[in-house]
Structure 1
């Protein structure tokens, strides 16, 4: 497929109106042949489909008409397939093949009568019977406009060979124009110019009238069914993302509560006890009180460090200020396992995407340091056409899982909440490869 640059270079020296003119002429030819062929096809289908339907319905009471009806439906399905192929270029889109009910019976009798229970087959038959109406209207307009355009603009070539009077009165004279050859030729040229200038919109409108009628019967119900299915799938996806977001938020809050309880809260309790003991020691043993205060200061610094670490887990300032690449570099530098980071600098992304990508890498590196016994970790962040691809792989013992109850379940919920997908490859003894695909 040619690139945009090559196409731009190839057409750089062409007039600006060449490409649109070619498109108009091509579409005019497509619409014209569609309408002109549609008229005889409409005659054929109305005769065959209407005859088959009438005979089948009339003799259905004695069961002979059922095979005739089934044959008529099968025949109309063939005409419908042909029409779907024809209307694609007119509508400038591919018309999808609708779903037909498949025959569940294994014998030939059940398969023969299966079209009788298929709704789309009946719609095909309705189209075959009534398509003659829009086909005739479209044919009349297209034939009239092409005839008027071609005969009008070429009138000077054959004016000499035509009789010019109707009851001894020329047509221009009937319309109030002077009776001479120049006036007559100019008059017909003006008429031809009118038909020529309005040829494309009239032919296009006629072709769309016929094509939209066919599309509504031959694929409209199926397209509506597909849209409903897509809407239901989108609704289910949104509900899954909402549930994943709630679950990820609850998991993060529980973890934060646990970390605060196990870390800074215990240190603050000890700090309060140390300060109370120092207050009692100042009167009796000032040196011991100073030592206790010094130890309390050390506890204060450690508590602040833990609080800073927790705040980085909530919203890392470096991620907000300097972007994803700088935040991942700092994260890799704090990891106890050597990290090979491949994170090129690119433009700032959506804050939600950057935050999710950061937490994917942070959680993965934490699990590697605690459980994998790995000697090296590779972290890769790639900007692809569909989004952001984050990969973390190690050479550890493997065995990681996304199942509920494992450490990565909360991370999976966080990725789903962002509309992404998380995948884990972690065979026993073969290391772990964690991949997150995040949409932009």
Structure 2
């Protein structure tokens, strides 16, 4: 799922002209108009190729040649799909991911040659979606081509009519552009100043409407390209899950390295020093009992520190209070250790699944650490509630603001962790504050 954050970059550039007057001259309008003009010849080519090759392949199915011809038809449609995606990427600024490749079944020997490749093409739903695009795109491309061209040409012709209407009386026997002729001397010409002005006004209206008509037409093309030439929803979901699995693996590996480092540099080093001190105390026990007693007393203090470090480390892995009493008491205990006064409000009808409960706990823990270290806040608030099938978390502080999920920040890593379980992290933190961080997690009861 998407991860949202509010970005406070430079202010958008202000324009003197309103968007309605700018639209006919913007690059987007001319790119989309070019897309529609190029679309018809490409649609004719794709439709002719797809229909002729499929018909030929179907007719030859009584022989062995039909299957290779059908495979060539599907392969050709996939190649034309590459061209269509590139055209949409260049002119419509629509970035459609490449669909899933043709997958060969190579479990048996001898199944990786041309026959296996043709069979994989015929089994591929992506290939048939490319064929469907080639068939459906032609009527739409023809309609959009004619609609855009007629409105665009007539609009600019009418708008510029005052500049060229003099051609008719000077080089022809007509006083102006003839709109119709009934054959009984009732022809209608655009010759008077009023008619010329009305024609120009009509042209202005058409020119102003044309960009929005073109955008509406290309919106249908966007849906066709995204829906038929991109990856299927199942393939997209598989890719998303593979990416999420990688994030989970990397996060687990990082947590193991952190635990190993904390054990090696903290409790383990302290216990090694404690063992050496106790060894020295044992040697001096007979010779200098007072020094030995002092060393044992110091060792007792080291034991307490080591135990505290181990408790903190265990709490960082999974706090016992979370397992025993649930999210509300665990967050209250967490807030009590924060350097900023924190109000905790938890309103849950029941406990969520342990995995979601743990993620929620550590999400709030990291957010409160950010409040303590970076926000310069005077107070903070944690709200947790259940909404339909989502577990909602919100951490608010009155600090200086400016937080975001930019690459490399702690919030970016937290957003990736939430995304790995279909969660969302939304950051609203304008400069000067306040900062509101909202996290959504799936509710697994």
Question: Residue 153 and residue 345 in structure 1: after superposition, are their counterparts in 2 closer, same or farther (change >3 A)?
Answer: closer
Are the aligned partners of 1:31 and 1:207 in contact in 2 as well (CA < 8 Å)? yes
Larger displacement relative to structure 2 (188-197 or 50-59): 188-197
Q: Paired residue for 1:37?
A: 38
Question: Residue 215 and residue 321 in structure 1: after superposition, are their counterparts in 2 closer, same or farther (change >3 A)?
Answer: closer
Shift of 1:130: 2.0
Are the aligned partners of 1:70 and 1:112 in contact in 2 as well (CA < 8 Å)? yes
Shift of 1:234: 8.1
Structure 1 residues without counterparts, runs of 5 or longer: 173-178, 256-310, 324-342, 354-381, 391-415, 421-437
Shift of 1:253: 6.1
RMSD: 4.7
Are the aligned partners of 1:80 and 1:124 in contact in 2 as well (CA < 8 Å)? yes
1:141 is aligned to 2:147: yes
* Alpha-carbon distance between aligned partners in 2 of 1:383 and 1:180, rounded to the nearest angstrom: 64
Query: What is the total number of aligned residue pairs between the two structures?
Result: 278
Relative to the length of structure 2, the TM-score reads 0.51
Are the aligned partners of 2:37 and 2:145 in contact in 1 as well (CA < 8 Å)? yes
Q: Paired residue for 1:181?
A: 192
Shift of 1:345: 4.5
| Structure index of larger Rg | 1
Q: Paired residue for 2:223?
A: 212
Are the aligned partners of 2:405 and 2:412 in contact in 1 as well (CA < 8 Å)? yes
* Alpha-carbon distance between aligned partners in 2 of 1:211 and 1:109, rounded to the nearest angstrom: 35
* Alpha-carbon distance between aligned partners in 2 of 1:69 and 1:184, rounded to the nearest angstrom: 59
Q: Paired residue for 1:226?
A: 236
Shift of 1:73: 0.5
Are the aligned partners of 2:104 and 2:116 in contact in 1 as well (CA < 8 Å)? yes
Q: Paired residue for 1:81?
A: 82
* Alpha-carbon distance between aligned partners in 2 of 1:49 and 1:189, rounded to the nearest angstrom: 45
Question: Residue 352 and residue 316 in structure 1: after superposition, are their counterparts in 2 closer, same or farther (change >3 A)?
Answer: closer
Q: Quick one: which of 111, 122, 125 aligns to 1:119? A: 125
Structure of higher RCO (CA pairs closer than 8 Å, 6+ residues apart): 2
Q: Paired residue for 2:59?
A: 58
* Alpha-carbon distance between aligned partners in 1 of 2:24 and 2:206, rounded to the nearest angstrom: 20
Q: How does 1:95-174 map to 2 (within 5 A)?
A: 95-104=96-105, 105-162=111-168, 163=174, 164-165=177-178, 166=181, 167=183, 168-171=185-188
Are the aligned partners of 1:39 and 1:139 in contact in 2 as well (CA < 8 Å)? yes
Shift of 1:19: 13
Q: Paired residue for 1:307?
A: none
Are the aligned partners of 2:23 and 2:208 in contact in 1 as well (CA < 8 Å)? no
Question: Residue 42 and residue 252 in structure 1: after superposition, are their counterparts in 2 closer, same or farther (change >3 A)?
Answer: closer
Larger displacement relative to structure 2 (95-104 or 74-83): 95-104
* Alpha-carbon distance between aligned partners in 2 of 1:42 and 1:217, rounded to the nearest angstrom: 14
* Alpha-carbon distance between aligned partners in 1 of 2:210 and 2:62, rounded to the nearest angstrom: 51
Higher helix share: 1
Q: Paired residue for 1:427?
A: none
Q: Quick one: which of 184, 191, 201 aligns to 1:190? A: 201
Question: Residue 131 and residue 122 in structure 1: after superposition, are their counterparts in 2 closer, same or farther (change >3 A)?
Answer: same
Are the aligned partners of 2:31 and 2:92 in contact in 1 as well (CA < 8 Å)? no
Shift of 1:321: 4.6
Question: Residue 183 and residue 254 in structure 1: after superposition, are their counterparts in 2 closer, same or farther (change >3 A)?
Answer: closer
Q: Quick one: which of 387, 390, 399 aligns to 2:410? A: 387
Shift of 1:319: 2.3
**CA-to-aligned-CA distance 1:256-293 (integer Å, 9 cap, x gap):** xxxxxxxxxxxxxxxxxxxxxxxxxxxxxxxxxxxxxx
* Alpha-carbon distance between aligned partners in 2 of 1:43 and 1:90, rounded to the nearest angstrom: 19
Shift of 1:103: 2.3
Relative to the length of structure 1, the TM-score reads 0.52
1:319 is aligned to 2:338: yes
Are the aligned partners of 1:131 and 1:214 in contact in 2 as well (CA < 8 Å)? no
